[in-house]
Chain A
Amino acid sequence: MAKVYSDATSALAGLLKDDMVIMAGGFGLCGIPSLLIKAIRDSGVKNLTIISNNAGIDGEGLGLLLETRQVKKMISSYVGENKTFAQQYLAGELEIEFNPQGTLAERIRAGGAGIPAFYTKTGVGTLIAQGKDEREFNGEKYVMETGLLADLAVVHAWKGDTEGNLVYRKSARNFNPMMATAGKVTVAQVEHLVECGTIDPDHIITPGIFVQRIIHAAGLEKKIEQRTVRQRA
């Protein structure tokens, strides 16, 4: 079955519907599936629940879906960079479920690995633990967190082959590998699309079994959120 699609819109054809749950990879604007997010916006699908560490910034990343009010709820760990988010949240138009970043990462990993719940010490004794099962192991308290799955996962990788095997680059890996495992359907955008056999099998991070559709994001413009530099001596 051919996994390669010509562009983001055709790769998402038949997958989008109102009220669905979508996972989107990335940390800040680093390693976000930007072309797939734009295609989701252009489809007009609405009432989305989005699972993503952040909410993009105004005009970039998931910020695009907030501007068009296509998002009903975000499950995130930090949303500080987005003014549109703050306005809609304070107006009661947007729900947010905050998860500690490591708990979010592990919930996604667990979901994709067929683990319905796990215990963590993160958040014990805080608001995060309220209403959740608590248990003691070896004299320490832990709180139960559930695995997360999505109808669709959209991820970004540096290199991918036609089988859907993916390799990430530097800190653009972040949430992408776990999300690829936790989508009923996973669509990947890759900066370099290569033939099978080109990538050393020992270097593959996400095996192709987790990726159903793939597009080539040629000449992708990647944004920098906080440009920080030092002076040359």
Chain B
Amino acid sequence: MAWTREEMAARAAKELRDGYYVNLGIGIPTLVSNYIPDGMTVQLQSENGMLGMGPFPFEGDEDPDLINAGKQTITELPTTSYFSSADSFAMIRGGHIDLSILGAMQVAENGDLANWMIPGKMVKGMGGAMDLVAGVKKVVVLMEHVAKEEKKLLKRCTLPLTGAGVVNMVITDLGVFTVGKDGMTAIEIAPHVTREEISAKTEASLRFADNLVQH
């Protein structure tokens, strides 16, 4: 049985390490903050200019001056700092953020990522995604394995890129895949999902790790 969105987020949270500074994208990646293990210290960065992002406010405590990169009202923590957009992207581009978890439309076996533009459709813009994938030390993509029958793990992206050779790991509802110099490798498979199902739903050349974990 494929992983749910919550289970995908919980799996992604296993990539967190004590002391990490982390940027979470909009959508399923946001859910990862619910699975930070007890006792682990992780600071969440919001690229609009905040480090140490707290949970949503209680009703009545919303502050229009305190939002995250998804424009949602949030709260601060004792560790919080605020800074300008230039300082925020100095953190990101300068390699000071340890981990970026974000969604994608397509990932290629060479680590190329496409998640901002479908030609011919209304383009909303890339926001901070291009800076994040170019600058953050480790980039993890969290997405459904296929979208309406369309494969998303490809030999080459067909959509315009967000970054070239930037993805380190992909977590989907079917499994966990690393992306390295030798291509894409399945290292974990979700419960009751078979190698055959994964191969059938993947265009990229895929190797199954010798120590593959079948959940």
Contact = CB atoms under 8 A, between A and B. Distances in A.
Interface of A: 27-31, 53, 76-81, 86, 89-90, 96, 98, 100-106, 108-109, 120-128, 158, 168-178, 205, 222-232
A168 B66 CA distance: 12
A174, A205, A226: residue with the most chain B Cβ atoms closer than 10 Å: A174
A89 B123 CA distance: 10
A30 B67 contact: yes
B67 A28 contact: yes
A228 B63 CA distance: 11
Contact of A101 (B61, B62, B89, B117): B89
Contact of B125 (A98, A158, A205, A228): A98
Contacts of A78: 124-127
A174 B129 CA distance: 17
B128 A173 contact: no
Q: Which 7 A-B pairs have the closest CB atoms?
A: A125-B164, A102-B89, A102-B131, A80-B124, A222-B64, A78-B125, A100-B130
Interface residues of B, number: 53
B67 A175 contact: no
Nearest to A109: B86
Q: Is the interface of B mostly helix, strand, loop or mixed?
A: loop
Contacts, number: 178
Given A27-B67, A98-B125, 9 more contacts: A30-B71, A77-B125, A86-B122, A102-B128, A120-B93, A123-B130, A126-B130, A222-B64, A228-B73
A30 B86 contact: no
23 contacts: A76-B125, A80-B125, A98-B123, A100-B129, A100-B130, A101-B128, A101-B131, A102-B88, A104-B85, A105-B84, A105-B85, A121-B134, A171-B50, A173-B82, A174-B85, A175-B84, A176-B84, A178-B85, A228-B73, A229-B61, A230-B55, A230-B58, A232-B58
Nearest to B75: A230
Contacts of B74: 228
B57 interface: yes
Contacts of A27: 48-49, 67, 71, 85
B48, B83, B165: residue with the most chain A Cβ atoms closer than 10 Å: B48
Interface string B122-144: 11111111110011000000000
Contact of B65 (A86, A172, A229, A231): A172
A230 B56 contact: yes
A78 B55 CA distance: 24
A52 to B, nearest CB: 11
Contact of B130 (A105, A128, A168, A230): A128
Contacts of A106: 86, 89, 93
